[in-house]
Amino acid sequence: MIIGQLPTGCRYCTRGAKLILFVTGLCDSRCFYCPLSEEKANKDVVFADEMPVMTDKDILLEADAINAEGAGLTGGDPLCRPERTVDFIRMLKSHYDHAFHIHLYTSQSSASKSVLSQLADAGLDEIRFHPQSKNWDGLERSLDLGMEVGIEVPAMPSRINDLKNVAARAEKIGVSFLNINELESSETNFAHLVSLGMKLRNTATSAIEGSAETAFEAMQWAANNLEHLSIHYCSSRFKDAVQLRNRLSRRLDNVIRKFEERDESDPLLILGVIRAPYGKKLTAKKLEDIASTLSKSFDVPSDLMSVDYSRMRIEIAGWILEEIASELRNVLQDGENLEIGTALEYPSWDRLQVLFEPL
């Protein structure tokens, strides 16, 4: 749902064309609804989408994997590591070109002119503030520097006046847009949200009941009382069903291997997997022995299988594994104790598995 124009950064995200660059898990704010995982919250780590980043090359590899047309810098709060943030912006703009659209999300609404000037000089196109105080000097400084400026906040159930006040003030100072996100639960914030009397809209979603209704009421008020501010409501379902799906589809096109198949309805990869039972791990020597058996005893071509040393498993064409699974168990030492089956996985760096069917 939108009033006015969709923010430029959101247009790229909708197509799945934005690399999500997690600059740091550090943050000066302590939002009770923060959904960050324990892996990231309050930790000075960097991720490009799902990929842990060690060097700039990792960022570029992931950007190329999704055919990125831009990047969204987030956290934590990127401005807790301003030099790193500026370096990332310069690197991306230099490697690609000026058209590579970069937006940044921060809660530091009073950010200094020095920091904001560095961001603008590096090539930041759009900055989104999540104000934590009444001091909005940073927003006005960003406007003076010529950046596209927006506000992005969650819709807290029944707190309609908060959204009205934010929207009215945003229009008054000339902010371009207000993004209202549906409030979502996660492993790290759920207990706190429940303690405040909140609950899930239903068991099939992470969305909090009443958040969407509050956002819609605020947008109806804005449509009747404001003239220039664009307002965009982003639901949890839209993020998963459109943004994430499109990004994964783009990545799948670039990472699918000869021995993998594409699921007919979802951006998922289908492949055969041979691995140790849950809680155990095969040795590299054992994996190599299995690969040798597949090659010598079953004539499996090298380009239709792979030894995955990071996940300590054999990956193989699913259609081949289906034919040889029973005989393979008999041939392999301890074959009856191995997990042999077909897996459905997201084409993300972490290859999140959604289904495993034993053969």
CATH number at residue 223: 3.20.20.70
- Domain encompassing residue 266: 257-358
Provide the terminal-to-terminal Cα distance of the chain, rounded to the nearest Å.
Answer: 45
d(CA 31, CA 1): 25
Tell me what pLDDT residue 260 has.
97
Judgement on whether residues 50 and 101 belong to the same structural domain of the protein: yes
Return mean pLDDT, the chain.
93
Tell me what pLDDT residue 206 has.
85
pLDDT at 234 over 80: yes
d(CA 354, CA 153): 31
CA–CA distance from 144 to each of 83, 100, 121, 175 (Å)? 21, 22, 13, 11
pLDDT at 130 over 90: yes
Tell me what pLDDT residue 1 has.
78
d(CA 343, CA 268): 10
pLDDT at 335 over 80: no
pLDDT at 82 over 80: yes
Judgement on whether residues 42 and 89 belong to the same structural domain of the protein: yes
d(CA 276, CA 282): 6
Which of these three, 206, 229, 254, is where a domain ends? Answer: 254
Mean of pLDDT values over 1-12: 90
Judgement on whether residues 225 and 274 belong to the same structural domain of the protein: no
- Top pLDDT among 225 and 33 is at 225
Tell me what pLDDT residue 113 has.
95
Domain tally, the chain: 2
Which of these three, 200, 220, 254, is where a domain ends? Answer: 254
Tell me what pLDDT residue 190 has.
81
CATH number for 313: 3.30.70
d(CA 209, CA 194): 11
Q: How confident is the model at residue 195 (pLDDT cuts 50, 70, 90)?
A: confident
Judgement on whether residues 187 and 270 belong to the same structural domain of the protein: no
Which region among 39-43, 100-104, 236-240, 305-309 has the lowest average model confidence (pLDDT)? Answer: 236-240
pLDDT at 98 over 80: yes
Judgement on whether residues 36 and 76 belong to the same structural domain of the protein: yes
Judgement on whether residues 165 and 25 belong to the same structural domain of the protein: yes
Tell me what pLDDT residue 168 has.
95
Judgement on whether residues 144 and 238 belong to the same structural domain of the protein: yes
Of the chain, the percentage scoring pLDDT greater than 70 comes to 100
- The pTM is what? 0.91
Judgement on whether residues 202 and 283 belong to the same structural domain of the protein: no
Judgement on whether residues 112 and 89 belong to the same structural domain of the protein: yes
pLDDT at 336 over 90: no
pLDDT in tens, 157-181: 989 999 999 999 999 999 999 999 9
Using left for φ > 0, alpha for ψ between -120 and 50, and beta otherwise, residue 340 falls in beta
Contact (CB, 8 A) for 27 and 107: yes
pLDDT at 323 over 80: yes
Nearest Cα neighbor of 316 from 265, 268, 275, 263 is 275
Tell me what pLDDT residue 177 has.
95
Mean of pLDDT values over 100-118: 96
Judgement on whether residues 11 and 29 belong to the same structural domain of the protein: yes
Using left for φ > 0, alpha for ψ between -120 and 50, and beta otherwise, residue 12 falls in alpha
Q: How confident is the model at residue 143 (pLDDT cuts 50, 70, 90)?
A: very high
Tell me what pLDDT residue 25 has.
95
| Farthest-apart Cα atoms in the chain, separation | 75
Which of these three, 217, 239, 254, is where a domain ends? Answer: 254
Mean of pLDDT values over 256-273: 96
Judgement on whether residues 94 and 231 belong to the same structural domain of the protein: yes
Residues in the chain, total? 359
Judgement on whether residues 268 and 288 belong to the same structural domain of the protein: yes
